[in-house]
Each structure stands twice: as C-alpha cells, then as structure tokens.
Structure 1
Amino acid sequence: MATGSAAKKRPPDPLVLLEEFLPYRLNVLAGLTSSALAQIYAERYGLSIPAWRIIVTLGQYELRTARDMAPDGVMHKSTVSRAVSALEKRGLVVRRPNLDDRREEWLALTPRGREIYEAVAPEALAVEERLLSVLTSDERRMLSSLIEKLTQQARRLAPGDLEEGDA
C-alpha cells in the first residue's frame, strides 16, 4: 500500500494557467481588438476580417496580387481567394490582367471599394488610438519593438500556411 507524499504527488501541469500562456493571451487581445474593429467594418459594411484586410491592403498599395496579400495578412491563399471573389461580386474589387505573369491577376479597389476604405480607415485608426491610450509614449515604442521581435521569431517558427487565429 502506497502511503506518504509520493502517492499524492501529481506531475505539474505543462500549462499551469491558460491565462498566462503567451499565445493564448495574444489571441485574446487580437480577438478583442478585432471585435472592436468589427463594429465598424462588419456591422456597417458587411466585411469579414479577410475582406477588410484586402480592402486595407489595396487602399494602401493600389495594386496587388492575391499571392502578394496572403503572407502580408497571415492569410492562407484560399482565404484570400474566397474574400477577393466575395469583394468582386459586391463591386468593391476589380481584377486586371498581369501582362508580366498571366497566371495571376492584379487586384484593385473600385471607386465604391475606395469609398469604404476612406470612410473606415480613420475610424479604425481611432479604435487603435483608444486601445493604445493607456500606454505612455515610451510604452508604445517598446510595444512596437517587442511585437516586431516576436513576429519575426514567430515567422521563423511557424509553418508557411498558418491561418490567422491559430494558437
């Protein structure tokens, strides 16, 4: 019969508290931030997260290919493809031939797509400012630096086709 402390000991949990696990914490922060932004782009304009990322990217860069956008937004190419098709059906994105590479097409915002980008971008920046308002200037700079370092390290560790929201 086993008695004493040896019989009662359990191995320690690999994740003592999920709430302290960095990938979980980052995912929670991203989810809460996305929810705040969704009030703008989902409720007002009916855009999904991938669709909003495409609108923003095309608003900033004018022309991009779907292949160019997948790694930028950490989206799988099939996610980008579905979002582009939905945006095209709504008349927000147009495809143009890429004369240098006929296997892909250039994507651009239509005037209606540009109107949405120009209306929502300032509101999204205001949400960002409200989120960051609890940090000092030094903390903001430090946060930006830390996010950059962690992002570079995560890209080295992650498989090439990691979807957003995985953690």
Structure 2
Amino acid sequence: MNKVKAASVNELKHILYLPRFLPYRLTKLSGTVSRDLAAQYSAAFDLTIPEWRIVALLGSHPGLTAREIAPLASLDKVSISRAVERLVKAERVEKRTLDGDRRSAALYLTEAGKTCLGEIIPIAQHYEDQLLESFTPEEIEQLDGFLNRLDAKAEALKEGD
C-alpha cells in the first residue's frame, strides 16, 4: 500500500496542475478582470486595455515617458507606442519633448483625457468594490500585503536572471 502511495505522489511531482499553479491563477484572474472591466469602458470611451492603463498612470503620474510607463503598466514597447499614438490622435494625451533628449517625450493628459479618466474612475472603483465585497477590511489589507510580497519576490527573481 505504501509503495502505491509513494508512486502516486512521485508521479504527481511531474504533473503541473494548473488550477493550483499560482502563476497560472494570477494570469487567469488578471485577464478575466482586465477583459471584464475593459468591456465596461471600451465601448463608451473607445479605449483599449493598454490605453486605459496609460491614461490611469498619467492621471496619477503626469509627465512619464513611454519607457517609464512600460514596467508600471506591464506593457511591451510596441503596445505602448500604438496606444500612445492612438491617445495622441484622439487628443487625450499630448507629448512634450524633453529638454536635452529630443528622442524622448513626456506624456500628459489633455483636458479631454482628464475628463475621460474622471468618467472611468467611478466605473473602475465600482468594479473593484464588487470584486472585494465578500472580503472584510482586514482581509483586504492582508490581500494587499500578500500581493506586495509576491510582487517584490517576483521582481527579485527577475533581477536574479
């Protein structure tokens, strides 16, 4: 009997059970939340997920460059470039060339961008409230702490590469 259990446990070590694999669960949750939230504002505001992330970041950190936005928004260079160009064309974001570096531009929300963000924030906050409504304030603080720890550990592992 013990030999059968040992063999089963040994076999399980070589199987990746996705429903319990943290990276998969985080990716799945992130994708579900991003798509669901985007569905609520994309039609009304004509924004893609990368555009929304850029608008939100510039709302709290005006003057970021595309290079600075990339890690904060978890977006690649091509996605950021396309999103910024669409936002500039829609007159929601303006580029200001940096002194001393003509190749880089600081990005700022225009009045139209600020208005758009002001209309989206309540939608995003309502979604977050719904997502967390079954958690106590203490559990939300714990979750925030766990996510901060996971984020820091993932950054440390990335730096170790």
* TM-score normalised per structure 2: 0.86
Q: Are positions 1:122 and 2:127 aligned together?
A: no
SS in 1 for 2:58: helix
Listed one character per residue, the Cα deviations across residues 92-123 of structure 1 (whole Å, up to 9, x for unaligned) are: 11111111422211111111111110000121
Deviates more, 1:108-117 or 1:9-18: 9-18
Corresponding residue for 1:89?
89
Q: Distance in 1 between matches of 2:127 and 2:67?
A: 29
Identity %: 35
Partner of 1:63, secondary structure, is coil
Q: Which amino acid aligns with 1:32?
A: T
Q: Distance in 2 between matches of 1:125 and 1:13?
A: 41
Report the secondary structure of 1:103's partner residue.
strand
5 Å-filtered alignment, 1:47-66, equals: 47-66=47-66
Give the alignment of 1:94-113 within 5 angstroms. Answer: 94-113=94-113
The structure where helix makes up a greater share of residues is 2
**Aligned residues of 1:59 and 1:117 also touching (Cα < 8 A):** yes
Alignment of 1:4-23 (within 5 A): 11-12=11-12, 14-23=14-23
- Residues of 2 paired with 1:16 and 1:61: CA distance? 40
Q: Unmatched 5+ residue regions in structure 2?
A: none
Q: Equivalents in 2 of 1:151, 1:40: separation in Å?
A: 27
Identify unmatched segments of 5+ residues in structure 1: 160-167
> Quick one: distance in 2 between partners of 1:15 and 1:66?
40
CA offsets, 1:103-158, max 9 Å, x none?
A: 21111111111111000012101111111111111110100000000011112223
C-alpha deviation, 1:33, in angstroms: 1.1
- In the alignment, is the contact (CA less than 8 A) between 2:97 and 2:103 conserved in 1? no
> Residue 72 of structure 1 corresponds to which residue in structure 2?
72
Contact map agreement 1:15 1:21 (CA 8 A) in 2 = no
CA distance in 1, matches of 2:72, 2:23: 20
Q: CA RMSD in A?
A: 2.0
Is the Cα–Cα contact under 8 Å of residues 51 and 87 in structure 1 kept in the other structure?
Answer: yes
Q: Structure 1, residues 47-93: CA drift from partner, whole Å, max 9, x if none?
A: 11111000001111222111111111121222211110111112211
Q: Distance in 2 between matches of 1:43 and 1:121?
A: 15
Contact 1:36 1:127 in 2 (8 A): no
Question: Distance between the aligned counterparts of 1:78 and 1:23, measured in 2?
Answer: 24
Are 2:133 and 1:137 aligned? Answer: no
Q: How many residues in Structure 1 have an aligned counterpart in Structure 2?
A: 153
1:16 to partner: Cα distance: 4.5
